[in-house]
Amino acid sequence: MEIILGPWPWYVGGALVALIMIALVFLGKSFGFSSNFRNICSMMGAGKSCSFFDFNWKSQRWNLLFLVGAVIGGLLAANFLSTNQVPAISEETVAQLKSMGFESAGAAFAPTELFGKLSIKNVLILAVAGLLIGFGTRYAGGCTSGHAISGLSNLQWPSLVAVIGFFIGGLTMVHVLFPLIF
């Protein structure tokens, strides 16, 4: 039981992702969570007013099931299998975060200063971040999982460009914008 309750090593997760990608390639499918937004909108009838959503969403049912399975799996893992372990981060990172006002750094899974209080500032930060992520996902033609895992596995040039953009955006956020906001 300890092997299930404890954190799994990176090479186990990586091997599982590789096996899933090999199976998807053989089945002629491509992986990506953000495409489920389009599927759900199409399923709800958005294709009547927007041609982008006018397609056969039933051909993507497997991806919707994958999304539901990921949500259920996350809930089960967080509520029944988790030992509430906090990810190990470097002492230097903890010190930098604490200097910005994140006293929960190194002691909580997510910063309680941002997710624990519903202040106007926190709600605005999370709402703007969500809008930017949604816009970026649509503009890039997929999310990080779709491009970095599926697109690169299929040797797609646009996915390589998107992944490079994700890294540049992440580095810019962490080293330029994050210190300005906090």
CA distance 34 to 57: 14
- Distance, in Å, from the CA atom of 128 to the CA atom of 59, rounded to the nearest integer, reads 33
The per-residue pLDDT for 1 is 66
By three-state DSSP, how is residue 87 classified? coil
Q: Nearest to residue 32, comparing CAs of 131, 137, 169?
A: 137
Neighbouring C-beta atoms of residue 81, cutoff 10 Å: 12
Question: What's the CA angle centered on 109, arms 142 and 94, to 5 degrees?
Answer: 105
CA end-to-end distance (rounded Å), the chain: 41
Q: Which residue has the tokens 């209080």?
A: 117
| Predicted local confidence at residue 135, as pLDDT | 80
Looking at residue 80, what DSSP letter applies? I
Residue listed under structure tokens 């491009």: 147
> For the chain (length 182 residues), average pLDDT per consecutive 10?
73 88 83 81 90 87 88 84 74 90 85 83 88 81 82 87 91 88 80
Contact call for residues 55 and 48 (beta carbons, < 8 A): no
What whole-number distance in Å separates Cα of residue 128 and Cα of residue 156? 30
Write down the pLDDT at residue 171: 93
If DSSP codes are grouped into helix, strand and coil, which group holds residue 55?
coil
pLDDT at 134: 81
